[in-house]
Homo-oligomer: A and B are copies of this chain.
């Protein structure tokens, strides 16, 4: 999916919601555990309940790896089940020396067929570039993350530049806004304005609303560009909104609430 198509999807659905499929075997409803593949059953129902309300799904790979090869199977089945007009993000935060990053790219772009993968920047250019050499695939590079630990190194400062700013600037030498997004946490809403000056055209994947406390309104106000430019993620706040037999209805209601907020913001900005 290219940038124009993503923008189109957002306008059509009046939503820039990404649903995080952080499916934890210890948190899914008990009744699902009698199925052959409880993780996939859970995801299937979440997808059925939310697919008209969101434009992206983002399985965090950790939750699948924690189950070993069985988890990997559940992930593959989940990816196959997601409708093809919805953008898919492997939240993997990978990154290694060049010949190895190429293998990770193969894993997520070829063996599986994700549209995008999150990548960690610490190892620099040759760890990121292999992911950028696939047609019609996206790198979502960690910029300023939503967690408390973002303070430890991302605000390391050379002269007037923070490390995360350097990452945003440097990475744009490696790929265009047609293939490169950034992770910018919703827990730093005051930073979005300044970050838009460094990376005006890129989409941002924004975690941290909901369970982590970020503010959708503020993020949208300061973070949007003329193609929206935001995919705002919610994981736990949606998929664990309910815990019984009707967990999927609860998830739908939670997603609907966010989508309606987004619709009202989009109506103001893209009337």
Contacts and interface: CB of A to CB of B under 8 A. Distances in A.
A94 B123 CA distance: 13
Contacts of A98: 147, 149
Interface of A: 22, 24, 60, 62-63, 65-70, 72-73, 76, 91, 93-98, 100-101, 103-104, 106-108, 111-112, 120-128, 142, 145-154, 156-158, 163, 166-167, 170, 207, 212
A126 B111 contact: no
Contacts of A60: 96, 100, 103
Given A73-B69, A106-B66, A156-B163, A149 B123 contact: yes
Nearest to A108: B65
30 contacts: A22-B100, A60-B96, A62-B101, A62-B103, A65-B103, A65-B104, A65-B108, A65-B111, A66-B106, A68-B107, A69-B69, A69-B73, A69-B76, A91-B96, A93-B94, A93-B96, A97-B145, A121-B122, A122-B122, A122-B145, A122-B153, A123-B142, A123-B150, A124-B150, A124-B151, A124-B152, A124-B153, A125-B148, A125-B152, A153-B167
B125 A122 contact: no
A145 B62 CA distance: 24
Nearest to A72: B69
A154 B111 contact: no
A153 B147 contact: no
B68 A76 contact: yes
